[in-house]
Amino acid sequence: MSPKPLTTHPDLQRVVFKNRWREIFDGNVPAGWEPSMSVSVIVPAFNSATLDLTLASLAAQDYPEDLVEVIVVDDGSEPPVTLGTRVHPHTRLIRLDDPDRLGWGRANATHRAIAESTGDIIYWVDSDMVLFRDNIRRHAVWAHFIPEAATIGYKGFVESWEQFDPESVFQGVLDGSIADHWDPATLHRHWSQDIFEETDDLNDSDGRNYATHMGATASVTRLVYERTHGTDPRLRAGEDTEIAYQIWQAGGVFIPVDGSLAWHLGRGTVQDQSDAVAHHNKPYFAQRMPIPRYRRTAANRRWEVPLIRVVVEVDHSSAAVARDCVDLLLNSSESDLTVDLVGPWSELDGGRRRILADPRAEMYLLQEWFRGEPRVNLVETAPSSVFPSPYRVDVPPAVGLPPRAMRAILRRIDGRRLGKVSFLTPHSEVNGTVTAWSTAALTRASHYVSDDVSLDEALDATWGVEWWKGSELGLVDLRERPAPERIYRAHDEVKDLEAKVAEVESQRRAAESQLAKERRVGESAVRHTVRRDFRRARGVAARAARRVATRLRGPRNPAGD
């Protein structure tokens, strides 16, 4: 886990780094603390048989009464929803009388209710939940100390609640005896509990486990929610996961609230139909949520929310090289991207002009070159945010990125979980830098920018900032080194195979060289052995000949006779 950068500015001392909320607030409030933030509880309902029990539990909450509003949204129930006697005094009912015209489903109902709510904290509660007495308080306390808090409650799945009616629920919540009906340890263990254990209650998650933020009992500050597009009314399922993704990109801090207990009246849909739910949600999730990346099983196509939005700002002087710059980007091995080509397009009119002498000629050509390309957006001004895309990359128009450079950039900012990474380009004093930004980090950091705090300081405090040499990406200056005559996408698989072939070829050459060397050494050794053996054999033969000659002559006569 990377350390939090040191900062001395007091405005940044209480900023959550990535998702490490525990370093800022551990849930223990100071002595004498009392809540001051208002809470809007949103309860969507459609033909719910347990709504009156949920409302009774909300009526018994210990959070200050004047700081709570409960909004029930009747999504076309038949018979229509009516409020019983055991409801919170600040409860109101919204009925969508014509769902076909107004839209239908939990996402649409939630969207409509939040638009009419006023609370500082938005709290989703399903109509089959019974909340313990301090539930709202336990969720709301986090927003008082962490402005970006997005809390997640615990729910125990129970399968029989015939003993409950609104009055018994109200009294049981009021006196705490509601907790005595079941032991949470004996109930179905939700998959989110495993993630909480693996990530130190999401402290080590960097927000990537946003899917644990489920609408049955989950809250977020209005500060963060208003940075999102809101719940998507087009969705018929999985809307809590999609808004959780948006909350992550809006700078939210995900916090599982220990002790925020509630009974879920009935089995969860995923318990019995997990495969069917996953199959239904996959296309909707893939269109809207680029992370996790395994959702997008089809490559080389455009999605509603691209993984990366590249911004290239061009003018008349750079239009000639910008064409190659953008073509290289579109042919990157990372295809999940779109390009915002920013330029003075409104200046290009249809009036009579000298087409070869017009100083705007290159802009006209650039416009025509990408006119039919759906991944290029011709815009007049650079976007202030690429939300909900998780990454933005700014590329100077005179800089060319090789096919694998974008993936290398992604590995740097996504792999190291950084807020901003800048790469020096050839002639950076003229071309500027290639800069990658994390939307989640940028959105949170922007809240803390002031006359005394720069954006880079705030980004470093929230997520981390790094600088690197562009040489590792192979960046080129297109004014000095134009792009190849033909630009094509080099797939990573092909590149990897080419690298393996080159490696094998290198190994083959090395082996042949070694073999030739060994042959030379071997031949030399053989010659040396032959010569040595020949000399040895010749000596043995000479000695043997001398012995034979001696025997033939017989012993010498010392007397000479």
* Residue 559 pLDDT > 50: no
Q: Check which CATH number belongs to the domain holding 199 and give it.
A: 3.90.550.10
- Kindly state whether residue 280 falls inside one of the protein's structural domains: no
- Kindly state whether residue 536 falls inside one of the protein's structural domains: yes
**Number of C-beta neighbours around residue 169 at 10 A:** 27
pLDDT band of 555, cuts 50, 70, 90: low
Q: Are residues 480 and 396 in the same domain?
A: yes
Taken in order 364, 369, 372, 376, the sign of the CA dihedral is negative
DSSP 101: H
- Summarize the confidence of residues 57-65 as an average pLDDT: 98
Q: Are residues 481 and 531 in the same domain?
A: no
- Kindly state whether residue 559 falls inside one of the protein's structural domains: no
- The sheet with strand 217-221 has its strands ordered as 91-95, 68-74, 39-45, 121-125, 217-221, 149-152, 253-256
Instruction: Specify the amino acid at residue 440.
Output: A
Question: How high is the pLDDT of residue 497?
Answer: 61
Q: Are residues 359 and 265 in the same domain?
A: no
Question: How high is the pLDDT of residue 99?
Answer: 64
Give the residue with greater pLDDT, 157 vs 558.
157
pTM: 0.86
pLDDT in tens, 121-177: 999 999 999 999 999 999 999 999 999 999 999 999 999 999 999 999 999 999 999
Question: How high is the pLDDT of residue 511?
Answer: 77
Q: Are residues 116 and 243 in the same domain?
A: yes
Q: Are residues 479 and 502 in the same domain?
A: no
- Kindly state whether residue 2 falls inside one of the protein's structural domains: no
Structural domains in the chain (count): 3
Give the residue with greater pLDDT, 224 vs 85.
224
- Kindly state whether residue 558 falls inside one of the protein's structural domains: no
Q: Are residues 500 and 426 in the same domain?
A: no
Q: Are residues 351 and 438 in the same domain?
A: yes
Considering only 271-280, 283-292, 461-470, which range has the smallest mean pLDDT?
271-280
Structural domain that includes position 424: 308-490
- Kindly state whether residue 340 falls inside one of the protein's structural domains: yes
pLDDT in tens, 296-347: 998 888 999 999 999 999 999 999 999 999 999 999 999 999 999 999 999 9
Q: Are residues 387 and 524 in the same domain?
A: no
* Residue 22 pLDDT > 60: yes
The residue whose two tokens read 């313990």 is 132
Cα separation, 297 vs 196, whole angstroms: 27
- Kindly state whether residue 286 falls inside one of the protein's structural domains: no
Q: Are residues 329 and 457 in the same domain?
A: yes
- Kindly state whether residue 84 falls inside one of the protein's structural domains: yes
Q: Are residues 340 and 230 in the same domain?
A: no
**Residue 384: half-sphere exposure toward Cβ, Cα within 13 Å:** 3
Residue 30 in contact with residue 140, Cβ under 8 Å?
no
Q: Are residues 448 and 502 in the same domain?
A: no
Radius of gyration of the chain (CA): 36
Taken in order 326, 331, 332, 337, the sign of the CA dihedral is positive
Final residue of a structural domain among 273, 289, 318:
273
Q: Are residues 215 and 169 in the same domain?
A: yes
Q: Check which CATH number belongs to the domain holding 473 and give it.
A: 3.90.550
Nearest partner of 458 among 147, 9, 65, 1, judged by Cα: 9
